Amino acid sequence: MRPKLQTKIKHVKIRKETKIGILLLVAVAVAYAGVSYLKGIHVFAKPTIYYGVYDKINGLNASNPVVVNGYKVGQVKSIELIEGRGGQLLVTMMIYEDISLPKDSRAVLRSSDLLGSMQVQLQLGKSKVYAMSGDTLTPDIEGDLVDEVNEQIRPIKIKAESLISSVDSVIKVVEVILNAQSQNNIIESFSGINNAIASLERTAFQIDTIVREERDRVSAIFENVQSLSRVMNNNTEELENIIKNFSALSDTLAKADIASTITNANEAMEEVQTIVTKINNGEGTLGMLINDEELYRKLEKATENMDHLVEDIRVNPNRYIHFSVFGRKNKNVELTQKELQELREYVNSTEE
């Protein structure tokens, strides 16, 4: 039996070409597995497929990582241009980890480093319904780090530009100040300041001199003020009474019908003004007496004649008054022609 078995085994020899073929297949399989592993593809694991539709991908490439809170759970499988959708892109994501994504989860494209490498960050939602393999997640794009840095630097840039503009203005002002005319003006200004300071010193010296010379008077003034203060302190009650009296007087004035009094005074003034106007217009006896010059002259002439008559009566009483102790006796006393004329003028003026 043994010799027969050995004979059969010798006939089942593997050919050299077969061995080479088997080794080649094994090498290819190992190489594929290694390359897939290096790309992050799990050859022996079945991934969960999700999709995302984006208007732009900002440099996202196949095999870029898919992360959740910074932990890699898969990678981008492929990126395809969707026909008839205005240039939109379909991103296919493979998830190898056993993770449940709520239906409202978002697939956000964002930068992973300063070099501009992109990744897909899954932001888990709060829905109670979970996404299935083949579902399309809500897409979103986050500004890359360069844009964020530029956004942060923009205020500093604006301030720097403003500062540079201010520095330019200062330099121009300095240039204006440092020219010959400006230097002369500055020198003259400092000279004026020195003169002003010297004048202030002289004024201070004069004030000090006056204070020293008038020290006694100033002391007397302060003593008088102190005396007045003591008098006021000693007569506080009298001052309070005076203040109360003024207060009572103000209350009386407040209660008085001042408005009515002023109205009556105005009415009286109007009546006086009316009377004065009538007098000026020559109305009434007083108006005629003041404004009629001829009447004034007649009265003056009559007064003068009356003075002459009274004076003649005083000098020659016998012409006008006759009396006798023993009996009455008529005597005709004749007046002169001048006296008769004056008497007639007086009588005529009195009748007028």
259-307 pLDDT per residue, tens: 777 888 888 888 888 887 877 776 766 666 666 677 777 777 778 877 7
Rounded-to-integer distance, Cα 212 and Cα 310, Å: 81
Instruction: Say if CB 66 and CB 74 are below 8 A apart.
Output: yes
> Which range, of 90-94, 136-140, 319-323, averages the lowest pLDDT?
319-323
- By three-state DSSP, how is residue 44 classified? coil
Query: At residue 190, does pLDDT exceed 50?
Result: yes
Query: At residue 315, does pLDDT exceed 60?
Result: yes
Average pLDDT, the chain: 77
Q: Of the spans 10-19, 42-51, 91-100, 211-220, which averages the highest pLDDT?
A: 91-100
For the four alpha carbons of 124, 129, 135 and 138, in that order, the dihedral sign comes to negative
Going from N- to C-terminal start, the domains of the chain cover: 1-39, 48-143
Query: At residue 31, does pLDDT exceed 70?
Result: yes
The pLDDT, as a whole number, for residue 142 is 77
Which two three-digit tokens encode residue 310?
A: 């009274």
Instruction: Say if CB 147 and CB 122 are below 8 A apart.
Output: no
- Average pLDDT on 109-119 reads 80
262 or 197, greater pLDDT: 197
What is the helix, strand, coil percentage profile of the chain, to 5?
60, 15, 25
The pLDDT, as a whole number, for residue 8 is 47
The pLDDT, as a whole number, for residue 316 is 72
> Predicted confidence band at 1 (pLDDT cuts at 50, 70, 90)?
very low
Query: At residue 352, does pLDDT exceed 60?
Result: no
Rounded-to-integer distance, Cα 298 and Cα 349, Å: 7
Alpha-carbon Rg for the chain, nearest whole angstrom, is: 67
Which of 80, 74, 122 lies closest to 101, judged by CA? 122
Which two three-digit tokens encode residue 274?
A: 């009316």
Sheet architecture: strand order including 106-111: 48-54, 89-95, 71-81, 65-68, 118-123, 106-111, 138-141
> Which range, of 211-215, 241-245, 319-323, averages the lowest pLDDT?
319-323
262 or 321, greater pLDDT: 262
Instruction: Say if CB 65 and CB 41 are below 8 A apart.
Output: no
The pLDDT, as a whole number, for residue 122 is 92
The pLDDT, as a whole number, for residue 37 is 61
44-102 confidence digits (pLDDT tens): 568 889 999 999 888 888 889 999 988 989 889 899 998 888 889 999 999 888 888 89
- Report which DSSP code applies to 136: B
Alpha-carbon distances of 62 from 35, 75, 76, 133, rounded to whole Å: 14, 8, 5, 19
170 or 60, greater pLDDT: 60
- Average pLDDT on 106-128 reads 85
For the chain, percent of residues with pLDDT exceeding 90: 10
Q: Buried b vs exposed e over 29-39: b needs ≥16 C-beta within 10 Å?
A: eeeeeeeeeee
Rounded-to-integer distance, Cα 352 and Cα 345, Å: 11
For the chain, percent of residues with pLDDT exceeding 70: 74
Rounded-to-integer distance, Cα 183 and Cα 3, Å: 127
Which of 98, 94, 99, 119 lies closest to 43, judged by CA? 94
Query: At residue 113, does pLDDT exceed 90?
Result: no
Rounded-to-integer distance, Cα 241 and Cα 227, Å: 21
Instruction: Say if CB 120 and CB 107 are below 8 A apart.
Output: yes
Rounded-to-integer distance, Cα 132 and Cα 77, Å: 17
For the four alpha carbons of 156, 160, 166 and 167, in that order, the dihedral sign comes to positive
Q: Of the spans 46-55, 168-177, 228-237, which averages the highest pLDDT?
A: 46-55
145-168 confidence digits (pLDDT tens): 556 666 677 788 788 888 888 887
The pLDDT, as a whole number, for residue 161 is 81
The pLDDT, as a whole number, for residue 80 is 92
Rounded-to-integer distance, Cα 143 and Cα 325, Å: 154
